[in-house]
Amino acid sequence: MAQNFLACDREQELLLPPSLREWLAADHLAWFVLDVVEELDLSSFLAEYRSDGWGRAAFDPSMMVALMLYAYAIGERSSRAIERRCREDVAFRVITANQAPDHATLARFRVRHERALGEVFAQVLGLCAKAGLVRVGLIAVDGTKIAGNASRDANRSYEQIAKEILEEAAAADAADDERFGDLRGDELPADLADRSSRRARLRAAKERLEAEVREAHQAHAAHLKARAELEAERGRKLRGRKPIAPAAVVDPAAKANVTDPDSRLVRAPRGFVQGYNAQVVCTETQVIVAAELSTDSPDGRLLEPMISAARGELAAAGIEEAPDIVLADGGYWNAPQIEQLVTDGSQVIVNPDSSSRPTRAADERRLRDKRVHGLYAHMQRIITSDYGAALYRRRQQMVEPIFAQTKVTRRADRFQRRGLEACRSEWRLLAATHNLLKLYRHAPATR
């Protein structure tokens, strides 16, 4: 008797046209993403296209948005990998209705709709609020360092940049002389024919360093003006030394990255990373209510801006509830910002000692000044009380898993775009898909 196997006949013709509805289970994430996109306002995407019907037909923006959300949700961010999945993966083929946009089209869509993709975050947050997932009585703020699309070896000092610009120009002139000789030279020069010209990137890095010097002078002038106004109001000079004026010219040793001038060397747990400081504010249910990007390596100046961003995102999502208690680690210790948040009606719990181990004389003075401040003693009483300690212990389990899921599970440990605005859009899209997955797992019965 022959063995009993299920038939596997690849030559069998399909008798009826296949239905995409039969390709995936009804509770699959792909169907959920498509349902969510139907609820989103895509007017900002549609506004980029002609409304008179002329020109070559483009892919439906709703399909492209769903494709991006699903791809980022499962940790697939490479344009070429997404293109391959559109041909090989059933879920991707369902989302695209058996269309296969090429990687160049996908990359251009991300660039063209950079801001709109970042603003999807607020709409997804609103859907989470409607599902009852957003409870902001207790929130936590934290940051993680994410590498940029640039190498540390691409950092150049101002002096090196100027030298390389001159060397690049001399090399181009020599190449033109060798190529054209005494001819007229109607052909395009090398710096125009080569799209990835190093000269343009070197000039951009040089201009960035010069702009930073101008901004430092403007900030110094504004600070002196505010100081003079305060002295006039009090009728006496303020104690202490006046702020030292910044250098008049760019320091020759000042460095910028010629690949991504916006990125910085930021301190990470295992050394320095050429990238950005990615910040989030989340709720007890690990729903992200604010996601922003900074080039500041320490978190000390980011506490109040992040909570303000969270309030703005909640208001945009139609959530009237305001944060009652804010949890943050010691890296966010900033007495003026903490006092401002308390004035705004939020209780702040920051461990004043978790990042206060003095390593240099300057750190010792800073720690001594902190302990003299009355806020330090007040926070110590809160953090050592049973109530405060129990609340503060919840901070780690609220926010740390978000970074683990994003950077490890979904493999988003390096930005693919370059520039602060582009990377901010990518970070907010990652945060939106994080909330999308929370919503997907929250109420399977509603699907």
Backbone angles phi, psi at 176, to 5 degrees: -65, -40
Q: Could you tell me the pLDDT band of residue 267, with boundaries at 50, 70 and 90?
A: confident
pLDDT at 255 over 80: no
pLDDT at 190 over 70: no
Mean pLDDT of the region 82-98? 93
**What is the reported pLDDT for 257?**
79
Mean pLDDT check: name the lowest of 21-35, 115-129, 345-359: 345-359
**What is the reported pLDDT for 167?**
58
**What is the reported pLDDT for 202?**
61
**What is the reported pLDDT for 318?**
83
Which tokens belong to 183? 């001819």
Amino acid identity, residue 139? Answer: I
Cα 339 from Cα 347, distance rounded (Å): 10
Question: Is the distance from CB of 92 to CB of 82 less than 8 angstroms?
Answer: yes
Question: Domain limits of the chain?
Answer: 20-112, 120-150+263-432, 152-257
- DSSP string covering 228-267, please? HHHHHHHTSPPSSPPPPPPPSS--TT-EEESS-TT-EEEE
Residue 106 β-bridge partners: none
pLDDT at 220 over 90: no
Look at 255 and 300; give whichever has higher pLDDT: 300
Question: Is the distance from CB of 313 to CB of 160 less than 8 angstroms?
Answer: no
Sequence-distant (≥ 6) Cβ neighbours of residue 386 within 8 angstroms: none
**What is the reported pLDDT for 191?**
44
Q: How does DSSP classify residue 407?
A: I
Mean pLDDT of the region 114-118? 93
pLDDT at 57 over 80: yes
Question: Is the distance from CB of 294 to CB of 276 less than 8 angstroms?
Answer: yes
pLDDT at 222 over 80: no
pLDDT at 117 over 60: yes
Tokens 């100081």, located at residue: 227
Cα 119 from Cα 100, distance rounded (Å): 25
Amino acid identity, residue 172? Answer: A
Bridging pattern class, strands 264-268 and 271-283: antiparallel
pLDDT at 382 over 60: yes
**What is the reported pLDDT for 218?**
72
Rounded to the nearest integer, the mean pLDDT of the chain is: 81
% residues pLDDT > 70 (the chain): 74
**What is the reported pLDDT for 18?**
73
**What is the reported pLDDT for 412?**
93
Mean pLDDT check: name the lowest of 62-76, 125-139, 190-204, 338-352: 190-204
Which tokens belong to 356? 């206060």
Q: What is the pTM of this model?
A: 0.79
% residues pLDDT > 90 (the chain): 43
Question: Is the distance from CB of 134 to CB of 125 less than 8 angstroms?
Answer: yes
Long-range contacts of 208-217 (CB under 8 A, 24+ apart): 208/256, 208/261, 208/262, 209/158, 209/161, 209/250, 209/254, 209/256, 210/250, 212/250, 212/254, 213/246, 213/247, 213/248, 213/249, 213/250, 216/246, 217/245, 217/246
Q: Could you tell me the pLDDT band of residue 193, with boundaries at 50, 70 and 90?
A: very low
109-123, 151-165, 362-376, 431-445, range with greatest mean pLDDT? 109-123
pLDDT at 80 over 90: yes
Question: Is the distance from CB of 133 to CB of 438 less than 8 angstroms?
Answer: yes
Look at 199 and 190; give whichever has higher pLDDT: 199
Which candidate, 45, 62, 146, places its Cα nearest to that of 424? Answer: 146
Which tokens belong to 355? 């990042």
Cα 301 from Cα 335, distance rounded (Å): 10
Which tokens belong to 223? 């600070």
**Total Cβ atoms within 10 A of residue 274:** 22
Amino acid identity, residue 316? Answer: A
Look at 259 and 122; give whichever has higher pLDDT: 122
pLDDT at 155 over 80: no
Mean pLDDT of the region 198-203? 63
Mean pLDDT check: name the lowest of 8-17, 52-61, 194-203, 354-363: 354-363
Burial class (CB in 10 A: 0-12, 13-18, 19+), 87: exposed
Which candidate, 145, 112, 125, 110, places its Cα nearest to that of 412? Answer: 145
Mean pLDDT of the region 203-211? 64
Helix (H, G, I), strand (E, B) or coil at 443: coil
Q: Measure Cα distances from 377 to 246, 342, 350, 353 in Å.
A: 35, 16, 12, 11
Mean pLDDT of the region 375-396? 89
Q: Could you tell me the pLDDT band of residue 262, with boundaries at 50, 70 and 90?
A: confident
CA contacts within 13 A on the Cβ side of 376: 12
Backbone angles phi, psi at 320, to 5 degrees: -85, -20
